[in-house]
Chains A and B, each alone.
Chain A
């Protein structure tokens, strides 16, 4: 007799759970030591409160007995923004919160993607600019080490950069959405083709079509500086702050980095490990999000996919 569970979900048995628990314990100690208090939020929220961004991404909606639409959260950042705005409306900044919770994202059957996944992360509210971002990246790197990884790297970009470059280089607004979609879709062939049709100077053309290739050390900032100018200032300041804190050697500057959630307003980052071909997590700055639920507050954070961190740790052991 087969009693199936939905595709993309899983049971966890003691051997796996023991290893996973060791990872989450390490993460929890790190979050706690850095002053990030742990919170829980409900798995189900009203769709109209969190917005269709989360239910659209999670793909799971249901009606309660009142006929209201409930949605499973697709990440923890939106619920934490709601929590911070409603439960801490008058709190003195900064507010440091951490969480462990399951989130949901629909995936094509047979894709091998999880639809239910355990996220662990932190959100730092009320600290603007590179100081906030550098603190969060610091906690992120400590967390990955505490989870037992040794070879992890963090890709660092600016979600506003490409949009800003399009505006500064006076690319007509009607092309922006298409170009940004191609950048987000990693379609570099289509991006170059469209940029070539814009009739820009050679240097501008090169920057807009080759930006996704600019990933590596601080020399990327120099390479792009002549054309990009002040649009790079935010990223340059953050990188300098990371260097001061001695964190830059784990960081790859990635000028073309784009993340899927649309609420990011500045720095964005992704976690890689050479042992596996997928990202382990990511995050960024989302200064406009808390304002959707109450008084605006600058904020940034990260989330790790605990299962993926576990897989990466096992794969790293295989390489040793």
Chain B
């Protein structure tokens, strides 16, 4: 088929394995990507690799035609204009509110001080969740291990992504509320979605067929 080849943004980290496995089933050669941990651009395969939160950026700007990233990333970057084409099903995680086990710091803070203090890497998701549930929230944005924040008393609770809950348990935290389930999503640049429609449709159809 003569349809133009697509440049694919592949997330490094937890979603990388599932993404490369998927690309293998589509007949894209990922061996060089798997063998090479430092290299970022693989022209032969049409693959660029990056951290998951950068995938919407590269795809929105057209540096990649399509990409794979988590729903959590998309929810946190709603102003990136990309098509969300498919729920790929893998990389399933829960976005949760968690706090110290057996601690009612969140309820107490809300009752006595009128607001909850919450640490997170996901300020937009956190703000939307607390607004929807009618609670005032003070968001403390952190970059590293969020679990530390309530342990030091800096905040009453956290909003974070958890796959198995192990890290939360090991830090004596428990899940209080489940906000949403996040899985890997296939996204596309809006212009590529029109001008490379055939190539994108073919890819989407093959992924759909592969699942049913």
Q: Does B192 contact A (CB under 8 A)?
A: yes
| CA of A184 to CA of B56, assembled, Å | 17
Q: Is the CB of B61 within 8 A of A278?
A: yes
| CA of A14 to CA of B62, assembled, Å | 28
Q: Is the CB of A212 within 8 A of B194?
A: no
Q: Is the CB of A186 within 8 A of B194?
A: no
Q: Is the CB of B62 within 8 A of A190?
A: no
- Residues of A near B82 (CB, < 8 A) are 186
Q: Is the CB of B85 within 8 A of A188?
A: yes
Pick from B63, B194, B198: contact of A272, CB under 8 Å:
B194
Closest to B187 in A: A186
B56 to chain A, nearest CB (A): 11
Q: Does B76 contact A (CB under 8 A)?
A: no
Listed residue (A188, A215, A277) with the most chain B CB atoms within 10 angstroms of its CB: A277
Q: Is the CB of B194 within 8 A of A277?
A: no
Closest to B78 in A: A185
Q: Is the CB of A186 within 8 A of B191?
A: no
| CA of A276 to CA of B190, assembled, Å | 11
B82 to chain A, nearest CB (A): 7
Q: Is the CB of A189 within 8 A of B194?
A: no
- Residues of A near B84 (CB, < 8 A) are 186-190
Q: Is the CB of A189 within 8 A of B85?
A: yes
Pick from A112, A155, A277: contact of B189, CB under 8 Å:
A277
Contact mask A263-280 → B, CB, 8 Å, 1/0? 000000010111011110
Pick from A108, A213, A272: contact of B195, CB under 8 Å:
A272
- Residues of A near B193 (CB, < 8 A) are 215
B208 to chain A, nearest CB (A): 11
Q: Does A216 contact B (CB under 8 A)?
A: yes
Pick from B62, B79, B189: contact of A111, CB under 8 Å:
B79
If A111-B79, A190-B84 touch, does A277 touch B197 (CB 8 Å cutoff)? no
Pick from B62, B86, B195, B204: contact of A278, CB under 8 Å:
B62
B179 to chain A, nearest CB (A): 16
- Residues of B near A155 (CB, < 8 A) are 194
Q: Does B16 contact A (CB under 8 A)?
A: no
- Residues of A near B189 (CB, < 8 A) are 277
Q: Is the CB of B61 within 8 A of A277?
A: yes
Q: Does B94 contact A (CB under 8 A)?
A: no
Query: Which residues 55-76 in B have Cβ within 8 Å of A in the complex?
Result: 60-63
Q: Does B81 contact A (CB under 8 A)?
A: yes
Q: Does B24 contact A (CB under 8 A)?
A: no
Q: Is the CB of B83 within 8 A of A186?
A: yes
Q: Is the CB of A186 within 8 A of B190?
A: yes
- Residues of B near A186 (CB, < 8 A) are 81-84, 190
| CA of A278 to CA of B193, assembled, Å | 11
Pick from B83, B192, B197: contact of A188, CB under 8 Å:
B83
| CA of A212 to CA of B87, assembled, Å | 16
Q: Does A252 contact B (CB under 8 A)?
A: yes
Query: Which residues 252-301 in A have Cβ within 8 Å of B in the complex?
Result: 252, 254, 270, 272-274, 276-279
Contact mask A164-203 → B, CB, 8 Å, 1/0? 0000000000000000000001111110000000000000
If A111-B79, A188-B85, A277-B63 touch, does A254 touch B191 (CB 8 Å cutoff)? no
Instruction: Kindly list the 8 A-B residue pairs having the minimum CB-CB distance in the complex, ordered from nearest.
Output: A277-B62, A186-B83, A189-B87, A272-B191, A277-B189, A187-B84, A189-B84, A274-B195
Q: What are 5 inter-chain pairs, A to B, with CB distance below 8 A? A: A111-B79, A155-B194, A273-B191, A277-B189, A279-B191
A111-B79, A215-B193, A279-B191 known; 11 other A-B pairs, CB under 8 Å?
A153-B195, A186-B82, A188-B83, A189-B84, A189-B86, A189-B185, A216-B198, A272-B195, A277-B62, A277-B190, A278-B62
